[in-house]
Amino acid sequence: MELTYSQLYKHNGYQCQISPDNKYVANTVDTTVVIRDHSQDMVVMHVYETNHVIDWMSWSPNAQYIVTMNKEHCIANIWSISDTNWKTTLSDRRFGMQRGWWSPDGSSILISSDLDLKITIWMFLKNKIKYIEHPKSIDQVCVPSHDGKYMAIVEKKDGKDYIDILDATSYELLQQFLTETTDVASIQWSPDSQFIIAYDNCLYYKLLVYRFDGYLTYSYSAYEHGLGIKCISWHDELLAIGSYDEKVRLINTCSWQLVTVLSHSNVIKPNSQSSLMIYEEYDLPSTKAPTLDTKVAYRVLARRPIQLPVLRPEFNRHDPNIGISFCQFCVDGSLLATKDDTMPNTLWIWDIRQLQVCLIISQKNPLRQVVWNPKYPHVLAMACGDENVYILYQESSTHSTLSTSLKIIPISVPTSKFSVRHIEWSSDGRTLLLLDHHLYCLASFYYLHCQ
């Protein structure tokens, strides 16, 4: 694997993003937005000035616009990338501004008010405004469908949860239906945009799959007593449900049958599958470290049994550190990466074809972020808040199994005192954006040994 780094540049508040079309990189510094060319030189293309410190920034899905927001002064600015003389300002001092979402076509911006009293749809290209009066306060209130045709929004009326389906261009209400949940925690579209998943908060284990017209297609509850669902991931015909009981359940979405349950035991027994590889990160001796890119390496743990490090749960917290907080399929669905919060330093990689774990990676520090490459199926990046970014990839080999062909390497940013806090792949999978508290750079991958 060969890669090169760009120079380091300043940012504030982790407001730094690669444009969806991979042409630009935008970052904020106090009241300024800097647009750079997405290349090794990162030449400055545009500089936009605002009157207030920027709290939030986002590219439009079509990469034609960029929006910034200042919550204290209830103001948002939208700039055109193709026409630098074009700019529009949105303000709502009466109700305030808290969060924003782009419409799929990039022609509108949806902004929630303080206390989520309403959502304002600013159709800035048509010079129109619409309102949604009763949005529910959850992480993903507005969720666009994958085909870009619809927007699903959760409403709370008379103590009950409703899902509204709106046309993503005109924002006309197409469908509204009552959910059979106690308290919706999240919604998600299916990959083909035909179904919507809604699941309850952690006190109730209930997952519901609705058709576009509100017909309840499937209902699932693994158990009644105990904390419920923590995360989900849907790829083609498989739905992965990560739960607080430290298990991932795979559902076949054609037959709506349970395929298997993936358990995360901290003890790897001697009779576990022989193909399972376990990598452990360790510090290199000081005599060897200066000659290498990093000061850490990996060793294979072949002994059995092996006990993985476990963090004692704090059950007095409202969201205790237990259960599956991350489960995500790779781009072709052949691998599933999971993280159990009782083992925050450990990443599990599951072979979906064999329905078994094929790789376990034990880090020195807790996993801060895990991101699959959007183009290369078996490439993944991890950040643990230290000076390294950790790259998992598959070596091209006809004589090795999947578990033995998957390799992980730590790569340090070539500068001192850079702690990787956030990572983001470009949409073509060739560039990785690395951010620490105040600086960022690009790591460009020119060749990936992957199948």
DSSP secondary structure of 137-174: -SS-SEEE-TTSSEEEEEEEETTEEEEEEEETTT--EE
Q: Report pTM.
A: 0.94
Q: What are 299's two structure tokens?
A: 């060793």
Q: 18: Cβ–Cβ under 8 A, 6 or more apart, which residues?
A: 24, 25, 38, 424, 426, 427, 431, 433
Strand locations in 195-329 (E):
195-200, 207-211, 216-220, 229-235, 238-243, 247-252, 257-263, 267-268, 277-283, 296-300, 306-307, 324-329
Burial 403-434 (b: 16+ CB within 10 A, else e): bebbbbebbbbeeeebbbbbbbbbeebbbbbb
Closest C-alpha among 204, 228, 225, 208 to residue 217: 208
User: 415: which DSSP letter?
Assistant: S
Q: What are 153's two structure tokens?
A: 């929004």
CA distance 254 to 250: 12
One-letter amino acid at 261 equals V
The dihedral formed by the CA atoms of 124, 129, 132 and 138, expressed in degrees to the nearest 10:
30
Q: What are 41's two structure tokens?
A: 């030189």
Report yes or no: 27 and 47 within 8 Å, Cβ to Cβ.
no
Report yes or no: 69 and 55 within 8 Å, Cβ to Cβ.
yes
pLDDT at position 290: 46
pLDDT at position 244: 95
- The structural domains of the chain, with segments of one domain joined by +, span 253-414
- 406-412 and 422-425 strand pairing: unpaired
User: 14: which DSSP letter?
Assistant: T
Alpha-carbon separation of residue 422 from 9, 17, 219, 407, 415 (angstroms): 15, 11, 36, 22, 17
Report yes or no: 234 and 197 within 8 Å, Cβ to Cβ.
yes
pLDDT at position 291: 43
User: 27: which DSSP letter?
Assistant: E
Strand locations in 315-438 (E):
324-329, 335-340, 346-351, 356-362, 369-372, 380-383, 388-394, 406-412, 422-425, 431-435
CA distance 35 to 223: 50
pLDDT at position 380: 97
Burial 70-79 (b: 16+ CB within 10 A, else e): bbebbbbbbb
List, run by run, the mean pLDDT of 10-residue segments along the chain (451 residues): 86 93 96 95 95 96 97 97 94 95 96 93 95 90 95 94 96 96 95 96 95 96 94 97 97 97 94 86 72 77 92 78 96 97 97 95 97 95 95 78 89 87 95 95 72 48
* Other beta carbons within 10 Å of 50: 20
Q: 189: Cβ–Cβ under 8 A, 6 or more apart, which residues?
A: 143, 144, 145, 146, 152, 195, 196, 197
Report yes or no: 418 and 7 within 8 Å, Cβ to Cβ.
no
CA distance 57 to 100: 9
